[in-house]
Amino acid sequence: MTHRQPPEPAKDTIYASEHGQVADFRFDDTVARVFPDMIKRSVPGYSHIIGMIGILAEQYAQPNSRLYDLGSSLGAASLAMRHRVHAPGAVIVAVDNSEAMLERSRDFLESEDLPTPVQTLCADITSLTLENASFVVLNFTLQFIPLEHRQETLQRIYDGMLHGAALVLSEKLRFPDPVQDQLLIQHHHDFKRANGYSDLEISQKRQAIERVLLPETAEGHLNRLKAVGFSTATLWFQSFNFASFLAIK
Ligand code: GEK
């Protein structure tokens, strides 16, 4: 069988030159083209979280169930799941509302021959009905959903999950103490600088993202997870102001 070749990863230089008026960040084709480089150089712990998603998916996948990757971008989490999930009849569903992202993700997802199939779906997760889900991933996606839709979106996700199913929720965080908040923002910027981003790139990206990525506190996330019904919700990973939670139905 012949497989699609994944495209060569391109370097993220989107904010390297002066933009004048910096437009709000969008997941368009320009972003999709450089996304693997962008996310690895911008999110501390990203590769670690992706690896752990594979390990967790293997544990929670139930036979004949669905594993959802919500806001799947280029399918990194779906691919990590695909490598480790062997439950018979399990299907991975990768959902994103950016057709540019989904189109590119197909190149990555179809480049390997593995037993668990992946379906891609172009849909808005705020109105998605999940069914028969044993494992759900929201890896840095909820942070882009308007605040007023987050509880309803999580409730819908919870309602589509099987008993004993797990949700991995990864998010950029803010901290109630302004000193702690500033400290971790500063060290996140040190991380980006160490990965080759200039001060201009860091500052323009910050302007582009501040109206579209609205971080909440860890306590806010844990309270909401409990409020929608999860029996257990815990922080399992944190690196500076980036964290991941595990919640069990
Ligand atoms: C990864 N999880 O590599 N419905 C569906 N998708 C959405 C919505 C929505 N309402 N809003 C945003 N997205 C990935 C990384 S990136 C995180 C996730 C980041 C999608 C959006 O198109 C983008 O692909 C993704 O959520 C967020 O593990 O760029 O920081």
Q: What is the mean pLDDT of residues 7-36?
A: 84
Q: What is the pTM of this model?
A: 0.95
Q: Residue 171: which region, alpha, beta or left (left: phi > 0; alpha: psi -120 to 50)?
A: beta
Would you say residue 84 lies in a domain?
yes
Total domains in the fold of the chain:
1
The pair of structure tokens assigned to 227 is 């409020």
Would you say residue 56 lies in a domain?
yes
pLDDT of residue 61: 98
Would you say residue 27 lies in a domain?
no
pLDDT of residue 103: 93
Would you say residue 194 lies in a domain?
no
pLDDT of residue 5: 67
Would you say residue 206 lies in a domain?
no
Residue with tokens 């991933």: 137
CA 139 to ligand 1 centroid distance, Å: 8
Question: How many CA atoms lie within 13 Å of 21's alpha carbon, on the beta-carbon side?
Answer: 2
Would you say residue 39 lies in a domain?
no
Range of the domain at 99: 46-174+212-248
Q: What is the mean pLDDT of the chain?
A: 94
Would you say residue 184 lies in a domain?
no
Any residues with CB less than 8 A from the CB of 34 and at least 6 apart, and which? 9, 10, 11, 12, 13, 14
Ligand 1, closest atom to CA 76? Answer: 3
Would you say residue 157 lies in a domain?
yes
pLDDT at 1 over 70: no
Pick the residue whose CA is nearest to atom 27 on ligand 1: 141
CATH of the domain at 138: 3.40.50.150
pLDDT at 223 over 70: yes
pLDDT of residue 122: 97
What tens digit of pLDDT does each residue of 137-176 get?
999 999 999 999 999 999 999 999 999 999 999 999 999 9
To test the ligand 1 pocket, which listed residue (34, 73, 137, 152) has its Cβ within 8 A of the most ligand atoms? Answer: 73
The pair of structure tokens assigned to 237 is 């990973």
CB of 200 closer than 8 Å to CB of 14 = no
